[in-house]
């Protein structure tokens, strides 16, 4: 189970793996950098990118918390 809280009732975004979210985010950034999109489409891409970045950050925060917890356990546990 990932860092998302209620995966059973989660929307499709919450079920994205870190790798999936990162890959889609890279694609969004590439499209924004390329330009040639309307203002409305650029705003939608930007908002999607923000959402994907948030998902990636939550995965990273969850991994960091697990590493910190593992470090705090005694070696013989």
The Cα 3–Cα 14 span in angstroms is 9
Report yes or no on 4 lying in a domain.
no
Domain CATH for 54: 1.10.287
Examine residue 56 and state whether it is found in any structural domain, yes or no: yes
Give the domain range for residue 52: 17-72
- Using one digit for the tens of pLDDT, what is the confidence trace for 10-64? 688 889 999 999 999 999 999 999 999 999 999 999 999 999 999 999 999 999 9
Which residues make Cβ contacts (< 8 Å) with residue 25, sequence separation at least 6?
Answer: 49, 52, 53, 56
pTM above 0.85, yes or no: no
């Amino acid at each position: 189970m990932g860092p998302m809280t209620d995966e059973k009732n989660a929307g499709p975004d919450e079920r994205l793996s870190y790798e999936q979210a990162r890959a889609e985010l890279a694609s969004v950034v590439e499209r924004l950098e390329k330009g040639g999109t309307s203002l409305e489409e650029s705003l939608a891409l930007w908002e999607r990118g923000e959402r994907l970045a948030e998902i990636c950050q939550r995965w990273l925060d969850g991994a960091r918390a697990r590493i910190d917890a593992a470090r705090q356990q005694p070696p013989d546990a």
